[in-house]
Amino acid sequence: MRTLITDCRIVSAGLDINSGAILIENDKISALYTKGDTLPNADKVIKGDGLIAMPGFIDTHCHGRNNADFCDGSVDGVNTIARGKLEEGVTSLLPTTLTLPETELSAALEAIAQHDQKGCKLPGVHLEGPFINVHCLGAQNPDYVQLPDVSLVKRLNAIYPVRKVSFAAELEGADKLTAELCSMGIVPSCVHSAANYAQFERCYTQGMRNLSHFCNQMTPLHHRDVGLVGAGLLKNDVYSELICDKLHICPEMIALTFKVKGSEHVVLITDAMRAAGMPDGEYSLGGLPVISRDGAARLKNGGALAGSVLKLNVALKNIVEITQLPLSELVKSLTRTPALALGLANIGELTPGYQADIVLLDTDFAVQKTIVDGAIRFER
């Protein structure tokens, strides 16, 4: 099966072709063409109509969407989220869990294992918690916080592959957990943490190279101890994940992070919860009541931010406006960079031989078509 996408602006890492075409053979990208090239015959032609073609987006941190949460333990809910994310241009997604009892985490992964594979791809799970600092909860439930326990990760990994685990670096046994996760091919990440720089350094020496929702629920930059935010800025090889909704992080901090880290080590995430894609109203996260209003999800009691309702294509639009950097540079933070951070092969670039995961957007970054493994799974 040969599919040809014509008349599109092709934007990938370090690449910006004003008017070109993309040839897909079965599920992989076969060739790129520029204006004036002779185009090959194809079984199917998708007219780009001047749209922007980018690699499919990768969201490494998402709890839910369309009034569904991965921790509901519902197969229908998993399928609803995976289909809904296609509307944002997401072609690969890490279902993200919460700090909950093992029985509920197991049920969540069992439901994920039964997804119908008609939405975006789910290459592995992200466990956010339960190994977090009880004093840095954010919207996590304090009743189920526990110390690092690799045996729990192994039991969950046997149900569905665990790709990333986010935990507090200062907890007893965190450095050992880091080493064990790395040996299993699982990405260790720090979050919901009061770690000082030295405590992070202990995990760093064991292989930690990731900071989940950078700046949120972690020790801020201080001139006597640069903390986790300082570590994220100082360590060139650490991936810093940003929720770029202009609420979790102010535009100036977003600009600073890109200026210091570059898009090679900044990963855009949504941290979206079930209110994403839904009207304003009352929802829940991990059993805690949440009010979604005016683009923000906050705990009903206390008002702390409780995940987001951000869409990844909107996050791209925001960083374009904030940083004014070239699109061929910024696109890395939604595609190639998260793929490299997670060790996902052959996705994240519009390159011959890579999977044909492609999103077509208009000039306002609204998604018009999402292609997964060479097949259109969403079109407006």
251-301 confidence digits (pLDDT tens): 999 999 999 999 999 999 999 999 999 999 999 888 889 999 999 999 888
Q: Verify whether residue 59 is a known catalytic residue.
A: no
| Residue in the structure block whose two tokens are 């079965």 | 26
The answer to whether the CB of 238 falls within 8 A of the CB of 231 is yes
Question: Does residue 164 share a domain with residue 20?
Answer: no
Q: How many domains does the chain have?
A: 2
Domain co-membership, 62 together with 11: no
Q: Can you give the pLDDT at residue 82? A: 98
288-341 confidence digits (pLDDT tens): 899 999 999 998 887 888 889 999 999 999 999 999 999 999 999 999 999 999
To the question of pTM greater than 0.75 for the whole model, the response is: yes
- 146 & 248 share domain: yes
Which residue is catalytic, options 116, 271, 294, 362? 271
Say whether both 299 and 156 belong to one domain: yes
Q: What does the alpha-carbon distance between residue 19 and residue 144 come to, in Å, rounded to a whole number?
A: 53
User: Could you tell me the CATH number of the domain that includes residue 125?
Assistant: 3.20.20.140
Using alpha carbons, select from 34, 39, 1 the residue that is nearest to residue 15: 34
337 and 374 in a single domain? The answer is no
Which residues form the domain of 319?
57-342
Quick one: pLDDT at residue 255?
A: 98
13 with 62, same domain: the answer is no
Closest CA to 270 of 120, 72, 93, 133: 93
